[in-house]
Structures are given as structure tokens and as C-alpha cells.
């Protein structure tokens, strides 16, 4: 009791595709905007066993078997044909209902304000005669333009070339453009002038400038100058180390030279009579004859006649008789140094007092300095008083009969170094080389 006419339009199925192109719903989505595709069929909803979603006829791996859905921000890769296929059983037969969306992604239709990338003013260090490429790149809209501007008052420069613009679309549907200005065979006229790159759109313009400067004009230190500076610093360091080493090795010579140069004299004001008291073995036995000769002849000859010192040698300077112990003590008090000529048989009763008196002056009262001369090699120092071992090792001089004869030998230099500074020098009537000691 109810009739209605239907007009049924049957479209032939495309055998090579999963959908029919004449039966698609087109949708245009802007990039970055919300994209949603939902497979729904309200009419058959209760009958549908399952639904699948295909993109360009490839099944998408979606979890939801009932209503597969895509919800995301649109990207250009999302463009394509999306087919929802609903499967349902009816009278034992499997039917499918297909609905296809034609999704087109278009770029953002709102315009951006174009921007040039990088700093607004660029100093480019160049060498004359070389080439340089100035790269100007910008983020801009499709219809925006990018161009170079530079002073061409002297006619166009044949060495300046604008290269072809390169444009790449960004995922946001905007454009990344770069345009290179190539300057060949750079000359003076290319230096210190502005090369401007401008991007222009309806929304405004942006400009950045390049200035070519000669490489040496750059403010920061170039690499080779830095390297040179480091080398110089290292050389100075090495020189200082060498100088210090030389000073340590030739300490004695330098001090003697300094004393000579400054005419230093530390003997004038201390009120003492003698520069040194010589303590040696008094008994003149044949086996220590050399030692005796050294103390009584060689030492005074060199120190007194040649270098102008005044020595106190008991045997020579003290008239016999009187209280020997008191005499020695007062003589040591009047002396600036105590020279001990040391040998194995040194510690006799007679010198013991000199030694003890000198040590007292040196170590307790600090009025006299002790100089030890090792005349014959001494291996066993146990016979010496304990306090003598506190002497600094450089205050012990070794006499080497063969090497120590010349006035310029290290032995005499070291001895002069330990002696007080004194300027008075007698005339040089002596020969420069001492007579060789008698070989006994």
C-alpha cells in the first residue's frame, strides 16, 4: 500500500582498482591543519562484521576493526584516495560496501612574513684575486621574490654573477629559497662596499648586507699568527730555562764577576783584622809535608800575594810563648773565615782547640764561616766533630794537585767565592801558574 519509484544508477566497477573513481568524495585540507578520516556506515552499522581502511588501495594497519579512524595534522604525504570497506554477511554471502575520499593537501593559504636567514650584516674575509660566493637564503611564500642589489654606478661588473635561485618546499608548505652572488677575481673595488640581498612580499621586505674585507683586516688573530706566537713563547721559555741552568752552573764565576764589576768589599766595616784563619796540621812529619807546604806556602802565596787577602797562619804570625789557647781564640774572633786544611791526620790535640773554637764562633755566634779544604781524599769523616757535618757541601773544597794549580782553576775560583768580597789587589808580580808541588 505504499509505492515509490527508484532510479538506480549502476556504475561499472573498476577492475584494476579497489574503488570507482566516479564515486569519490573530495576533500581539500590545508597542510598543518586537522585531518580526520572516519569509516562509518550508520545504515548498516549493526550488520557490519568488520571494516578496513585502504590508502591508494593498500590496507592501513589500524587497530580499530569496527571504525578505523585517522586523526592527525595534515602533511603533504597524506594526500591520496582513502577507501573505507565495510564487510557484511547476508544470506550466506559476503558483501562489501566501499566509500572513498579524495584527499588533497594544499599549502597554508595564510601568508608568512618572509625572513632572510642569518645575521643582517656579514663581514666576509677574502683575498684579492680569489672568488667568493655570497649565499643568501630566505624563508618565504610561493609568490615572494628574492634578489640582489649592489652599487653599479660604474657600469655592471663583469665579474659579478647572480646564480639561479634554488627553491625547496618546507613541510609547512612554505618555501626555502637561496640565491648565490658569485664574485670572481676580487679586486679593490669589491672591498668595503655593500652587497644587499632583499626578499620582498606583499607583507613587506627584508634586507641583509655583505661586506668583503681583506683577510688581514680581520680583527681576530688568524691561525698562522697564533702558531707563530706559540713558537716564540716556547722559545722564550727554553731560553729562560737555559739561562737559569747556565746561571746555576756558572754561579761562582758570575758572583766573582759581579764582585769585580761592582767593586764590592765586605771587609771594610766589620772591624776584623784577618780575612781567614788557616787551621792545619802543625806537626811537620815527612808523610804530611805536602799538606804543610800547601797551608804555609801555597795558600798565602795565592790568596795574599795574588788576590790581596790577609791570612792568619799561627806558625808565621804568632810569636812563640804566651797562652796559646787564648791567643787562638782571639785570632779566630778577628778572622772572617776559618779555613781548615783537612787530612786524615788532622785531628791532633793541637788543632782540636782551633777547631772547637771556630765551630763555636761559626755555629753558635754565627760570626765566622768555615771553609773546608780536603787536601788528601778523606773517605772516613767519623773523626770530625758531629757539628762539622752540618756544613753545607759546597763549603767543602777538594784540592786536586794536577788540576788546581792555575789561578784560573775551579778550586781557586770556588775558594774566592767562599772568601769575603774584597777590592784591594796587589800588583801582579807573580806568574800565572804555580810551581808544581814537589813530588815526594
The rounded distance, in Å, linking the Cα atoms of 75 and 54 is 18
Which 150-169 residues touch ligand NAG, going by CB under 6 A? 150-151
Q: If binding is defined by CB under 6 A, does position 122 make contact with ligand NAG?
A: no
Pick the stretch among 17-25, 316-324, 347-355, 401-409 that binds ligand NAG (CB under 6 A): 17-25
- Start-to-end CA distance of the chain, whole Å, equals 165
Q: What is the distance between the alpha carbons of residues 226 and 218, in angstroms, rounded to a whole number?
A: 14
Evaluate the CA torsion angle 394, 396, 398, 404 in order and state its sign.
positive
Residue 11 Cβ vs ligand NAG, minimum distance, rounded to whole Å: 13
Element (H, E) at 208: strand 204-214
Q: What are phi and psi of 379, to 5 degrees?
A: -95, -30
Pick from 26, 154, 156, 440: which binds ligand NAG (CB under 6 A)?
Answer: 26
Shortest distance, CB of residue 159 to ligand NAG, whole angstroms?
A: 17
- From its phi and psi, is residue 308 left (phi > 0), alpha (psi between -120 and 50) or beta? left
In the window 175-204, what residues touch ligand NAG (CB under 6 A)?
178, 180, 194, 196
The rounded Cα 41 to chain-centroid distance in angstroms is 73
* Nearer CB in complex with ligand NAG: 213/252: 213
Q: Is 135 in the site for ligand NAG (CB under 6 A)?
A: yes
DSSP class per residue in 309-323: --EEEHHHHS-S-S-
Q: How far apart are CA 134 and CA 162, in angstroms?
A: 10
Q: According to CB under 6 A, which one of 14, 49, 131, 348 is a site residue for ligand NAG? A: 49
| Residues belonging to the active site | 354
Q: What character string, x for contact with ligand NAG (CB under 6 A) and - otherwise, covers 60-89?
A: -------------------------x---x
Residue 124 in grid coordinates: 666576509
Contact between residue 274 and residue 299 where contact means Cβ atoms under 8 Å apart: no
Question: What angle, 0 to 180 degrees and rounded to 10, lies between the N-to-C axes of helices 324-333 and 349-359?
Answer: 40
Binding window for ligand NAG (CB under 6 A); candidates: 96-104, 214-222, 223-231, 369-377: 96-104
- Coil vs helix vs strand at 363: helix
**Which of 17, 36, 56, 104 lies at the binding interface for ligand NAG (CB under 6 A)?**
104
> Considering beta carbons, is residue 208 or 259 the nearer one to ligand NAG?
208
Q: Which x/- pattern, by CB under 6 A, does the window 216-255 give for ligand NAG?
A: ----------------------------------------
Q: Kindly tell me which of 181 and 351 has the beta carbon lying closer to ligand NAG.
A: 181
117 binding ligand NAG? (CB under 6 A) = yes
Check if the beta carbon of residue 336 is closer than 8 Å to that of residue 270. Answer: yes
Q: How far is the CB of 96 from ligand NAG (least distance, A)?
A: 4
Number of residues that bind ligand NAG (CB under 6 A): 22
Measure the CA–CA gap between 373 and 415, rounded to whole angstroms. Answer: 9
Q: Which residues bind ligand NAG (CB under 6 A)?
A: 18, 21, 24, 26, 49, 85, 89, 96, 102, 104, 117, 135, 137, 149-151, 178, 180, 194, 196, 207, 209
Amino acid at each position: 500500500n505504499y509505492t515509490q519509484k527508484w532510479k538506480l544508477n549502476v556504475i561499472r566497477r573498476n577492475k584494476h582498482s579497489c574503488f570507482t573513481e566516479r564515486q569519490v568524495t573530495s576533500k581539500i585540507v590545508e597542510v598543518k591543519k586537522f585531518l580526520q578520516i572516519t569509516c562509518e556506515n550508520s545504515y548498516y552499522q549493526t550488520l557490519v562484521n568488520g571494516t578496513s581502511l585502504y590508502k591508494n588501495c593498500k590496507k592501513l594497519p589500524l587497530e580499530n576493526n569496527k571504525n578505523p579512524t585517522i586523526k592527525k595534522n595534515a602533511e603533504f604525504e597524506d594526500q591520496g584516495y582513502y577507501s573505507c570497506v565495510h564487510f557484511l554477511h547476508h544470506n550466506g554471502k559476503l558483501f562489501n560496501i566501499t566509500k572513498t575520499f579524495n584527499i588533497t593537501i594544499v599549502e597554508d593559504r595564510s601568508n608568512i612574513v618572509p625572513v632572510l636567514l642569518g645575521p643582517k650584516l656579514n663581514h666576509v674575509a677574502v683575498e684579492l684575486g680569489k672568488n667568493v660566493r655570497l649565499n643568501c637564503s630566505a624563508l618565504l611564500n610561493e609568490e615572494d621574490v628574492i634578489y640582489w642589489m649592489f652599487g653599479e654606478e660604474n657600469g655592471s661588473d663583469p665579474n659579478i654573477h647572480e646564480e639561479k635561485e634554488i627553491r625547496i618546499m618546507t613541510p609547512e608548505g612554505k618555501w626555502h629559497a637561496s640565491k648565490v652572488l658569485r664574485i670572481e677575481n676580487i679586486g679593490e673595488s669589491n672591498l668595503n662596499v655593500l652587497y644587499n640581498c632583499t626578499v620582498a612580499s606583499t607583507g613587506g621586505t627584508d634586507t641583509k648586507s655583505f661586506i668583503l674585507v681583506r683577510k688581514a683586516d680581520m680583527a681576530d688573530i688568524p691561525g698562522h699568527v697564533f702558531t707563530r706566537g706559540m713558537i716564540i713563547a716556547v722559545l722564550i721559555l727554553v731560553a729562560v730555562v737555559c739561562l737559569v741552568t747556565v746561571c746555576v752552573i756558572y754561579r761562582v764565576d758570575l758572583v766573582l764577576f759581579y764582585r769585580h764589576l761592582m767593586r764590592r768589599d765586605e771587609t771594610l766595616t766589620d772591624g776584623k783584622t784577618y780575612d781567614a784563619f788557616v787551621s792545619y796540621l802543625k806537626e811537620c812529619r815527612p808523610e804530611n809535608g805536602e799538606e804543610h807546604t800547601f797551608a804555609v806556602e801555597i795558600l798565602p802565596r795565592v790568596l795574599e800575594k795574588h788576590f790581596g787577602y790577609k791570612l792568619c797562619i799561627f806558625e808565621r804570625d804568632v810569636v812563640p810563648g804566651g797562652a796559646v789557647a787564648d791567643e787562638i781564640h782571639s785570632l779566630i774572633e778577628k778572622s772572617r773565615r776559618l779555613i781548615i786544611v783537612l787530612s786524615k791526620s788532622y785531628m791532633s790535640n793541637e788543632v782540636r782547640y782551633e777547631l772547637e773554637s771556630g765551630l763555636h764562633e761559626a755555629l753558635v755566634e754565627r760570626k765566622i764561616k768555615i771553609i773546608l779544604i780536603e787536601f788528601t781524599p778523606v773517605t772516613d769523616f767519623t773523626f770530625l766533630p758531629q757539628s762539622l757535618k752540618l756544613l753545607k757541601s759546597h763549603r767543602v773544597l777538594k784540592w786536586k794537585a794536577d788540576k788546581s794549580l792555575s789561578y784560573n782553576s775551579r778550586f781557586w775560583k770556588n775558594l774566592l767565592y767562599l772568601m769575603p768580597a774584597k777590592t784591594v789587589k796587589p800588583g801582579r808580580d807573580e806568574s800565572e801558574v804555580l810551581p808544581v808541588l814537589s813530588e815526594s
